[in-house]
């Protein structure tokens, strides 16, 4: 019975962190786009932790402003016997001042580059 409870708790723990970036102030759909891109480019992880993030605002035209982000993320993958495999990932992304038809809101998040280190 104890093993079943521990197994269920570890599953819930891994699923809850797989959908967010720990320590990030990014909007949920920005985090989702980053995680999906990392998993596609670098393989999936069990936990994502933001190490650092910078942003730069670019005025495009007549009040339209795009925001470019450079983010460093630590991707953790838990292996049996409590071993942890860590990979640093650099993500370049942007918030485009345009309409996002998928989410029916203003502002589209685009992933420009992923570097797995």
d(CA 21, CA 33): 11
Q: Rounded to the nearest 5°, which phi and psi values hold at 18?
A: -70, -15
| Model pLDDT, residue 81 | 78
pTM: 0.79
- Written as tens digits, the pLDDT of the chain (117 aa) is 555 454 444 544 444 445 799 999 999 999 999 999 999 999 889 999 999 999 999 998 888 899 999 999 999 999 887 789 999 999 999 999 888 887 788 889 999 999 998
| Model pLDDT, residue 18 | 56
d(CA 23, CA 68): 19
């Amino acid at each position: 019975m104890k093993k079943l409870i521990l197994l269920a708790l570890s599953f819930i723990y891994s699923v809850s962190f797989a959908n967010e970036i720990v320590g990030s102030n990014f909007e949920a759909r920005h985090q989702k786009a980053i995680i999906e891109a990392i998993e596609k480019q670098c393989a999936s992880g069990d936990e994502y932790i933001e190490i650092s993030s910078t942003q730069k605002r670019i005025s495009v035209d007549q009040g339209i402003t795009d925001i470019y982000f450079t983010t460093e993320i630590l991707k953790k993958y838990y292996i049996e016997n409590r071993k942890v495999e860590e990979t640093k990932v650099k993500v370049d992304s942007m918030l485009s001042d345009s309409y996002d038809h998928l989410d029916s809101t203003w502002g589209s998040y685009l992933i420009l580059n992923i570097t797995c280190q």
